[in-house]
């Protein structure tokens, strides 16, 4: 991991130290653009390359920033870069805009269940960079040194309260153990570990994170970042008077530079029924729109989130759920809407489910009598939301054409 970090930091024009970046920005009165990239993860790799290469759309803008590239989340000084406040840790690429005094102007990044490109683009980053530069040059901008936060008493991720407990119980691959690295999604696990240890983690409410603009009834143009392109009929945004074409300027007193800033404002809003105040610009005029939100407004699709599917909340079933093979559905007479999973174990033949008799040539058609058509991470999320370590599980399987029931108990941590 360290070798990869040095390779990433060697990119021309990019520093590998936030402290050095802040010193340079202070001397030159430039804003900082800080990227955080988890190199082993493939997610956002293409976008990361586009940012590093710059190109005609980005390089003229990036040249006006002090650029810092960090490729090891475990060495980030949490007092300087407030990841715990602004980072969606299920992403392997993230961008921060800072003043020379370490004030965070805004953030850039994001994805959804569709792909890692559905919420970000080169054009969207260029638009955000332009807005940050304009804000930085504004003579009326309040120049305030951001006080160093306590960051839960931690300077680095390894000093977070949940780290030691997480490290003892986490199923880490050999590469991660050998490199002693921490993936971004694992930071999310570390942050929730104290609540899991205390038995207070609520899998329904505490997974309501980083809601989309659609959660409040509006969609924004990906490349513009802040222009409303659609408003759900009779949804919260529509009832607040927002229309297509409006540009969102602020949300809950947070200045916005792109869609990620809007999502950050939504992320920090209450899960309970609440109101969020937006400042929108229409035909050159600004107006306030207050969006009233009901209980459950934050819920989003979790299927893509690795910190959920392979994390520390709930229980792992003891196998990886592969899709059915070829003509399995027709041969086994399993409906298209029903579950049909081929379990994969790899070297994990000591798990209770394997000892109970499940094998890779079996086909799982139901779990505890439920049969949603889910595979991969979507199945793992569904399973973890329903099961805890120590719970009993009943699998309905097909061994060839024979029907079998396999019962086992999930191991306790």
Q: Is residue 301 a part of any domain in this protein?
A: no
Question: Cβ distance 123 to 225 under 8 Å?
Answer: no
Domain count within the chain:
3
pLDDT at 12: 78
Query: Residue 413 has what pLDDT?
Result: 82
198 lies in a domain? no
User: What is the rounded CA–CA span in Å between residue 300 and residue 312?
Assistant: 19
Residue 112 belongs to some domain of the structure? yes
CATH number for position 369: 2.30.42.10
- Looking at residue 105, what is its pLDDT? 94
| Sequence-separated (6 or more) residues with CB below 8 Å from residue 319 | 343, 344, 345, 348, 351, 353, 354, 358
User: What pLDDT score was predicted for residue 173?
Assistant: 60
Closest by CA to 319, choosing from 349, 297, 295, 290, is 349
CA distance 408 to 316: 13
Residue 95 lies in a domain: yes
Predicted local confidence at residue 347, as pLDDT: 84
The range of the structural domain enclosing residue 355 comes to 314-409
**Tens-digit pLDDT string for the chain (413 aa):** 333 333 344 477 899 999 999 999 999 999 999 999 988 788 889 999 999 999 999 999 999 999 999 999 988 988 888 898 899 999 999 999 999 989 999 999 999 999 999 999 999 999 999 999 999 999 888 765 555 444 456 689 999 999 999 998 887 665 555 557 799 999 999 999 999 999 999 999 999 999 999 999 999 999 999 999 999 999 999 999 999 999 999 999 889 999 999 999 999 999 999 999 999 999 999 999 999 999 999 999 999 999 999 999 999 999 999 999 889 999 999 999 999 999 999 888 889 999 999 999 999 999 999 999 999 999 999 999 999 999 999 999 999 889 999 999 999 98
Check which CATH number belongs to the domain holding 82 and give it. 3.40.30.10
- End-to-end alpha-carbon separation of the chain, Å? 28
The region, left, alpha or beta by phi > 0 then psi within -120 to 50, assigned to residue 254 is beta
C-alpha separations of 346 from 247, 323, 367, 394 in Å: 50, 16, 21, 22
Q: How far apart are CA 58 and CA 126, in angstroms?
A: 6
pTM of the prediction? 0.91
Among 293, 328, 345, residue at a domain's last position? 293
Residue 129 lies in a domain: yes
Do 365 and 334 touch, CB atoms closer than 8 A? yes
> Is 157 among the domain residues?
no
Q: Would you state the pLDDT for residue 14?
A: 96
Measured in degrees and rounded to the nearest 5, phi and psi for residue 412 equal -80, 155
What per-residue confidence (pLDDT) applies to 144?
Answer: 58
Judge whether 147 lies within some domain: yes
């Amino acid at each position: 991991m360290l070798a990869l970090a040095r390779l990433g930091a060697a990119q021309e024009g990019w520093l590998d130290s936030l402290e050095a970046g802040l010193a340079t920005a202070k001397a030159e009165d430039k804003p900082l653009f800080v990227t955080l990239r988890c190199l082993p993860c493939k997610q956002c790799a293409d976008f990361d390359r586009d940012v590093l290469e710059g190109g005609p759309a980005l390089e003229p803008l990036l040249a006006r920033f002090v650029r810092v590239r960090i490729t090891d989340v475990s060495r980030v000084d949490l007092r300087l870069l407030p990841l715990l406040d602004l980072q969606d840790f299920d992403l392997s690429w993230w961008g921060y805009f800072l003043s020379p005094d370490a004030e965070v102007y805004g953030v850039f990044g994001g994805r959804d269940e569709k792909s890692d490109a559905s919420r970000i683009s080169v054009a969207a980053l260029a638009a955000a960079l332009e807005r940050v530069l304009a804000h930085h040059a504004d003579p009326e901008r309040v120049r305030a040194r951001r006080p160093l936060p306590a960051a839960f008493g931690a300077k680095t991720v390894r000093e977070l309260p949940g780290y030691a407990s997480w490290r003892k119980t986490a199923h880490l691959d050999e590469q991660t153990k050998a490199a002693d690295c921490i993936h971004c999604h694992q930071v999310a696990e570390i942050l929730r570990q104290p609540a899991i240890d205390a038995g207070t983690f609520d899998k329904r409410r505490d997974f309501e994170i980083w809601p989309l603009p659609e959660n409040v009834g509006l969609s924004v143009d990906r490349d513009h970042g802040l222009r409303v392109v659609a408003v759900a009929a009779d949804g919260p945004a529509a009832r607040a008077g927002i229309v297509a074409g409006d540009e969102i300027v602020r949300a809950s007193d947070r200045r916005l530079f792109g869609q990620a800033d809007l999502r950050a404002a939504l992320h920090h809003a209450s899960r309970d029924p609440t109101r969020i105040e937006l400042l929108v610009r229409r035909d050159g005029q600004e107006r306030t729109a207050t969006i009233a939100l009901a209980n459950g407004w934050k819920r989003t699709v979790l299927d893509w989130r690795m910190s959920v599917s392979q994390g520390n909340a709930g229980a792992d079933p003891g196998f990886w759920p592969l899709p059915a093979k070829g003509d399995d559905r027709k041969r086994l007479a399993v409906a298209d809407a029903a579950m049909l999973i081929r379990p994969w174990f790899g070297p994990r033949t000591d798990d209770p489910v394997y000892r109970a008799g499940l094998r890779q040539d079996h086909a799982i058609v139901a779990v505890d009598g439920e049969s949603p058509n889910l595979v991969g991470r979507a199945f793992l999320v569904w399973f973890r939301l329903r099961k805890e370590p120590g719970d009993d599980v009943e699998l309905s399987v097909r061994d060839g054409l024979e029907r079998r029931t396999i019962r086992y108990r999930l191991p306790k941590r």
